[in-house]
């Protein structure tokens, strides 16, 4: 499993707390509600929440600009661009970071994507027992929420000792990372998206960075 698949995520827009903010688009612009994405996640029974990051937002804009210059839009190109801009994936004693991106046309999105199609799209089976509004995804907010559910499934599936030893060649660093893993991991998802039009086709370009950091030990009580 490649790292870009391991944490491939497609998520919502850059937001300020409690206020909807737009992401620039090539001809039409576009915006998403991070509050709505988090509500959808909660309704689906997930404890995961998403937030925003300026660097990721800039990386998504750069990916859109590069694909326009190249004259083609694809998930592969978007992912490679985002990861290159953010220097991902990265392993260190402070944690593991990885990124990904997805490109989907607005027509594809508005036609509706069911759970079986989502599983093929994200290459992971999402627990559909509590999907609610996500049983059929037909909006950018819903696509973002479904994507983070897929990402959360993947990180827990592949952030294991065997995966670390597969991708980290330095044995000492790998052993240290495994020890940190055993003490618990905190997951954070940073999100961004842009709606843009090119050659008469409207695209949504979703990007995200997932960070897995070791949980800090509890400090002893002071007498």
Q: Which tops the pLDDT comparison, 26 or 86?
A: 86
Please give the mean pLDDT across all residues of the chain.
74
pLDDT at 18: 20
pLDDT at 95: 72
Query: At residue 195, does pLDDT exceed 80?
Result: yes
- 68's enclosing H/E stretch is helix 54-70
- 32 SS3 class: strand
pLDDT at 20: 25
pLDDT at 80: 94
Q: Which is nearest to 50 in space by CA: 220, 222, 187?
A: 187
What's the whole-model pTM score?
Answer: 0.71
- 149 SS3 class: helix
Residue boundaries of the structural domains of the chain? 3-214
Q: What is the pLDDT of residues 104-114, one digit of tens each?
A: 999 999 999 88
Exposed / middle / buried, residue 172 (Cβ in 10 Å: 0-12, 13-18, 19+): exposed
Exposed / middle / buried, residue 170 (Cβ in 10 Å: 0-12, 13-18, 19+): exposed
Between CA 135 and CA 25 the distance in angstroms is 28
pLDDT at 17: 20
pLDDT at 132: 62
């Amino acid at each position: 499993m490649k790292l870009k698949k391991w944490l491939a995520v497609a998520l919502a827009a850059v937001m300020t707390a409690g206020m909807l903010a737009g992401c620039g688009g090539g001809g039409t612009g576009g915006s998403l509600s991070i509050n709505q994405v988090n509500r959808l996640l909660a309704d689906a029974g997930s404890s995961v929440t998403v937030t925003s990051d300026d660097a990721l937002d800039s990386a998504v804009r750069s990916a859109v600009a590069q694909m326009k210059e190249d004259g083609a839009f694809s998930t592969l190109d978007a992912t490679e661009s985002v990861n290159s801009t953010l220097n991902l994936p990265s392993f260190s004693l402070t944690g593991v970071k990885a990124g990904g991106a997805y490109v989907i046309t607005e027509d594809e999105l508005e036609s509706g994507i069911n759970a079986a199609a989502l599983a093929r799209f994200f290459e992971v089976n999402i627990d559909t027992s509590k999907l609610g509004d996500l049983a059929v995804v037909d909006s950018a907010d819903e696509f973002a929420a479904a994507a983070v559910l897929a990402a959360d499934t993947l990180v827990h599936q592949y952030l294991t000792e065997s995966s670390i030893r597969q991708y980290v060649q330095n044995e000492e660093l790998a052993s240290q990372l495994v020890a940190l893993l055993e003490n618990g991991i905190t997951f954070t998802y940073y999100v961004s998206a842009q709606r843009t039009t090119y050659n008469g086709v409207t695209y949504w370009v979703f990007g995200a960075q997932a960070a897995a950091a070791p949980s800090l030990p509890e400090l002893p009580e002071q007498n």
